[in-house]
Amino acid sequence: MTTDAARSGLAETPLQSVAWAGDRLDLLDQRLLPEQIVFLPLTTAEDVWEAIRQLKVRGAPAIGIAAAYGVYLGVRNTEGDAEQVRAEIVRQADYLATSRPTAVNLFWALDRMKAKAEALLAGGQTTDAAALKAAMLDEAKQIQAEDEETCRLIGEHALTLLHDGVGILTHCNAGGLATAKYGTALAPIYLAKERGWDVKVFADETRPVLQGSRLTAFELQQAGVDVTLICDNMAGMVMSKGWVQAVIVGTDRVAANGDVANKIGTYGVAVLAKAHGIPFYVACPLSTIDLNTPTGAEIPIEERGEEEVTHGFGKRTAPAGVKVYNPAFDVTPHEYVSAIITEKGVVTAPYGENLRKLFAK
């Protein structure tokens, strides 16, 4: 499908960013959106590593899903017995874990793949190398299927905080493109639309990689949602006009104390929301909550190449040689977070205590 074809009418089904295609992984190249809709056939773990690193696939849950398939692609041709396959699973998972540092879903998915192999061998459920490889593909499919249901549940819980006629501001892309389906922050918007609610969305364009304009505005427009694109520096103006009743964003990692890492610029949006008395909600699956990271200060923040900042509109937009700082994420302190919306329900402060309870349920 080309974008022109997509533009001629609403897409019948939302675009799936990661799809298993029998013998390969078909990955929607998100760098090319919205101008081109291109699916890349990936056949090796190296392909998947590159795709994650270069943001062809991005968004915390989608990265985890792609990496899980990457483990299978990395071991499917491994020769030897089940123990040799298990060792290769660990090697490939550890390799894929070096692709990006911030989204904990990547490590969560890879740990789950390793644990599955471990459990099958330790439990004596298989001693067969072929069966172990097949189990890796099944597990990756399972992670993807669970994510779809998880996102739907996040949407249901988020709806309890919203109302017909609500204006929502979001930052970056935490939609269907970033997950198996629905998204996290965008899930309630899709569910609200299904229920006939009138919802207006303001999408921050999200400098420097423009996930908000290229991806969020694109997927909401495709779904027929009332979306208005704004530059990041317009968020305060839009809030001051009374057009926003809730901010909802996704996250790449929630620390044990409720501090939230998300796309650079999120912190500023949270401060603006507080200044305007607007609730600031974070939507994420439990797989994004990292109780092993005590506070936001310990979350590793990816820094990306300077050309993301010095170039735009197909040309250089900054003087050659200028110093550049380009963190891909920032941390919003938990004091600014009104609630964290998960598949198990809505969590409010004190986060240290209440996030822990979520895992005990």
Q: Is 60 annotated for ligand binding?
A: yes
What CA–CA distance (Å, rounded) separates 116 from 339?
Answer: 32
**Binder among 262, 287, 332, 342 for ligand MRU (CB under 6 A):** 262
Binding of residue 170 to ligand MRU (CB under 6 A): no
Binding of residue 157 to ligand MRU (CB under 6 A): no
Q: How far is the CB of 264 from ligand MRU (least distance, A)?
A: 8
Q: How far is the CB of 103 from ligand MRU (least distance, A)?
A: 6
Binding of residue 47 to ligand MRU (CB under 6 A): no
**Binder among 155, 208, 212, 250 for ligand MRU (CB under 6 A):** 250
Binding of residue 74 to ligand MRU (CB under 6 A): no
Residues 303-342 that bind ligand MRU (CB under 6 A): 328
What CA–CA distance (Å, rounded) separates 355 from 304?
Answer: 30
Span interacting with ligand MRU, options 68-76, 141-149, 156-164, 170-178, rule CB under 6 A: 170-178
Q: Is 262 annotated for ligand binding?
A: yes
Cα of 174 vs its chain's centroid, Å: 6
**Token pair for 26:** 């078909």
- The residue at minimum Cβ distance from ligand MRU is 250
Size of the site for ligand MRU (CB under 6 A): 18
Query: Do the beta carbons of residue 283 and residue 341 sit within 8 Å?
Result: yes
Paired residues of 40 in beta bridges: 27
Q: Is 58 annotated for ligand binding?
A: yes
What CA–CA distance (Å, rounded) separates 205 from 305?
Answer: 19
Question: Which residues are known to be catalytic?
Answer: 252
Q: What is the DSSP letter of 290?
A: E
Binding of residue 184 to ligand MRU (CB under 6 A): yes
**Binder among 103, 117, 180, 282 for ligand MRU (CB under 6 A):** 103
Query: Do the beta carbons of residue 348 and residue 354 sit within 8 Å?
Result: yes
Query: Do the beta carbons of residue 171 and residue 249 sit within 8 Å?
Result: yes
Ordered alpha helix ranges (H), 181-311: 187-194, 211, 217-222, 235-240, 266-275, 307-310
Q: Which SS3 state, helix, strand or coil, does residue 283 take?
A: strand
Three-class HEC string of 112-142 = HHHHHHHHHHHCCCCCCHHHHHHHHHHHHHH
Q: Is 9 annotated for ligand binding?
A: no
Q: Is 116 annotated for ligand binding?
A: no
Residues comprising the chain, all counted: 361
Q: How far is the CB of 319 from ligand MRU (least distance, A)?
A: 26
Query: Do the beta carbons of residue 87 and residue 66 sit within 8 Å?
Result: no
State the binding site for substrate.
Answer: 58-60, 100, 211, 262-263
State the binding site.
Answer: 58-60, 100, 211, 262-263
Contact residues for ligand MRU (CB under 6 A)?
A: 58-61, 103, 172, 174, 178-179, 183-184, 211, 250-252, 262-263, 328
